[in-house]
Amino acid sequence: MAFGQFLSYRKGDDRKPEIVPEEEEIIRSIYKMFIDGKTANFIEKNLTKKGILTPGGKEVWQSTTVESILTNEKYKGDAVLQKKFTVDFLNKKMKVNEGEVPQYYVTDSHPAVIEKQEWDLVQAEMTKRKGRGKHHNSLSPFSAKIVCGDCGRYFGSKVWHSTDKYRRVIWRCNSKYKGVAKCDTLHLTEDEIKEMFLKAMVELLSDRNALLEDCRLMRDTLADTSKLDEGCKSLTDEMDPISVLIQKLIDDNAAVAMSQDEYNEKYDGYMARYNRAKECYDKLQQRKTTLSFEVDIIKCFMFEIKALPSQPMEFSDSLWNAMIDKVTVHSDDRAVFTFKNGGEIIEIID
């Protein structure tokens, strides 16, 4: 671990990583802000404003630095080994490992700063936001959550009477007046959105035990990746011997004089075989990752459902973010609330 470029850890007396308490709080605050709906851009400005130094000791943060912290497995106590490897031992040339040599994933290799469930939730949320493109912002919980049933575009906020006492914020389709045919979906005030959400929540929780049981069944089904694991094992058995041949070829080329044409021909041949298998392997792994994200979302949904108090219920940004996947507004005055468990409840816009 590069301790000099790494927040929250330092080398202990036993030469193993140990947590730096004051830096640990910085990392936890970064993860909390992201889960609360803040963007990497918002977080980096917040950290810079507070005068907190970057891992490299700089005063100004970058969003890429925030993103690297949010995606680094070391913060949940795990470690990926051999992310880079030496191509030429004579001049110490290094290369990012893109599958040419084996990598090793070590779980619980050192103390964790972030709980694994929280880390996984952040990865799932990051994947979702990338799918939304630039539509997500941290100014409102409704951003990139409300969808027009006519055109499929997101609703955006507009301010009415911005300079007088009648000022209010409404949400309407961003493409309502674009193109030949305008969308017929109504605009919504924030109070209307909150009121309909709370009504939908009451209906959702009408039988809390049945809801949780459905979530358990969904969680267990999504968590069963046995067939995917078998496919990954088969492809790994195919790739491992090729990795050994590639590593031996690289070592031989670094140790003794070889014809570079011969070296390149063999290297390209091995890599072609390896890449074909790895492409299939990556697809299976991506499917496993997607299922894992969906399992984490269901787990977090269940946790929030269990923790919800009895009526009356009050609106909060955190409750909205934990429950709602999207709200689709239709031109016939229906607002379809889609929850994180996939369930849908229809509310009528007054």
The candidate with the shortest Cα–Cα distance to 296, out of 128, 118, 107, 126, is: 118
How far apart are alpha carbons 244 and 240 in whole angstroms?
6
pLDDT band at 196 (very low <50, low <70, confident <90, very high): very high
Number of domain units in the chain? 2
Are 8 and 26 within 8 A, CB to CB? yes
Residues 213 and 346 in one domain: yes
Mean pLDDT of the residues in the chain: 86
What the block records as the tokens of 173 is: 């389709």
Torsional sign, CA 32, 33, 37, 40: negative
Q: Which CATH number covers residue 102? A: 3.90.1750.20
Boundary residue ending a domain (91, 116, 133): 133
Residues 145 and 244 in one domain: yes
Any idea which residue has 């787990």 for tokens? 299
The tally of CA atoms less than 13 A away on the side-chain side of residue 330 is 9
Residues 9 and 35 in one domain: yes
Q: What domain range is 124 assigned to?
A: 3-133
Looking at the DSSP assignment, which residues form a beta bridge with residue 332? none
Residues 45 and 144 in one domain: no
Residues 88 and 167 in one domain: no
Looking at the DSSP assignment, which residues form a beta bridge with residue 43? none
Residues 117 and 156 in one domain: no
In order of 15, 19, 241, 323, 328, the CA distances from 204 in angstroms are 52, 42, 53, 10, 17
CB-based contacts of 232, cutoff 8 Å, min separation 6: 281, 284, 285, 288
How far apart are alpha carbons 70 and 18 in whole angstroms?
19
Residues 148 and 271 in one domain: yes
- pLDDT at 104 > cutoff 80: no
In this structure, the dihedral spanned by the alpha carbons of residues 249, 254, 255 and 261, taken in order and rounded to 10 degrees, is 60
Residues 215 and 295 in one domain: yes
Are 164 and 336 within 8 A, CB to CB? no
What the block records as the tokens of 35 is: 């889960």
Residues 220 and 106 in one domain: no
Percentage of the chain beyond pLDDT 70 is: 89
- pLDDT at 108 > cutoff 60: yes
| Range with lowest mean pLDDT among 140-144, 202-206, 239-243, 281-285 | 140-144
Cα 19–Cα 20–Cα 21 angle in degrees, nearest 5: 105
Residues 193 and 324 in one domain: yes
Boundary residue ending a domain (100, 133, 166): 133
Residue type, position 230, single letter: E
Residues 59 and 185 in one domain: no
What the block records as the tokens of 257 is: 């004089």
CB-based contacts of 191, cutoff 8 Å, min separation 6: none
- Angle between helix axes 40-49 and 63-70 (nearest 10 degrees) is 110
What the block records as the tokens of 218 is: 């969904």
pLDDT band at 235 (very low <50, low <70, confident <90, very high): very high
The pTM assigned to this predicted structure is 0.64
Average pLDDT over residues 177-206: 90
Boundary residue ending a domain (86, 110, 133): 133
What the block records as the tokens of 311 is: 């009526």
Residues 302 and 260 in one domain: yes
